Amino acid sequence: MNILLVEDDAALAQATAEVLRARGWRVDVSAAGEPVPRSVRQDDYDVLVLDIGLPGIDGLEVLRRVRAQGSHLPVLMLTARASIEDRVLGLETGADDYLVKPFAVPELLARLRALVRRHEFRRGGALALGRLRFDGGARRAFIGDAPLRLTARESVVLEYLLQQIGHIVARERLISQIADWNAAASNNALDLLISRLRAKIAPAGVRLRPVRGLGYMIEAGVAA
């Protein structure tokens, strides 16, 4: 994995880069945002880890410029800003995920791997389970050749679950995929969404199974 880390805190940047390089990943570090759009054009990075609070142009403006030049590079915003409003703003600007400082190294590594898997999935096209097919490029689901009508939130959750076939997905990870949910309503909202989604995908021979105390697992079942 080739990573561009943009962080103006020298100690944090060095420590983070060392952790990533210890996994065998190549890491380039920048303390400022101005060179980033050019670097993204010139180098074949797999993911951009971008701090918001940068000197000069901030991380949000860097992200706008990266997206404006047509780049679909996965972007993880790394910031001390923890409010829902800041998180939503970052995602609406074009970030793929958002990690608040201080962070745990295992979570950083897991989020980076998930971003790259998601990006490769979308570039690679469709993923299938039973008669269910999800087109990662078009962001559409099908049962056989028939389009499956999903809300935007259902589509996001289904895509994430299909990327984790064979693994239990924690409720918190599913909730985090929907940036605009109010934290107080998140559990109830997820329960309703899962109930609707389970009914919609059942005819495809796909089961969305709850794992008590842990989360959900999507797996092949029996077609209705």
Q: HEC string of 68-91? A: HCCCCCCEEEEECCCCHHHHHHHH
Judged by DSSP in three states, 15 sits in helix
Which has the higher per-residue pLDDT, 206 or 156?
Answer: 206
Instruction: Provide the CATH number for the domain around residue 28.
Output: 3.40.50.2300
Q: 3 falls in which pLDDT band (50, 70, 90)?
A: very high
Q: What percent of the chain has pLDDT over 90?
A: 39
Query: Is the same domain home to 172 and 95?
Result: no
The answer to whether the peptide bond before residue 35 is cis (omega within 30 degrees of 0) is: no
Contact between 62 and 50 under an 8 Å Cβ cutoff? The reply is yes
Q: How far is CA 7 from CA 12, 50, 199, 210, in A?
A: 8, 7, 44, 39
Query: Is the same domain home to 195 and 87?
Result: no
Q: 120 falls in which pLDDT band (50, 70, 90)?
A: low
Confidence check: pLDDT of 185 > 70: no
Domain span at residue 178 reads 125-220
Mean pLDDT of 102-122: 80
Q: How many domains does the chain have?
A: 2
Q: In this predicted model, what pLDDT tens digit does every residue of 14-45 receive, in sequence order?
A: 999 999 999 989 999 999 999 999 999 988 89
Task: Give the pLDDT confidence score for residue 224 in this predicted structure.
Answer: 47
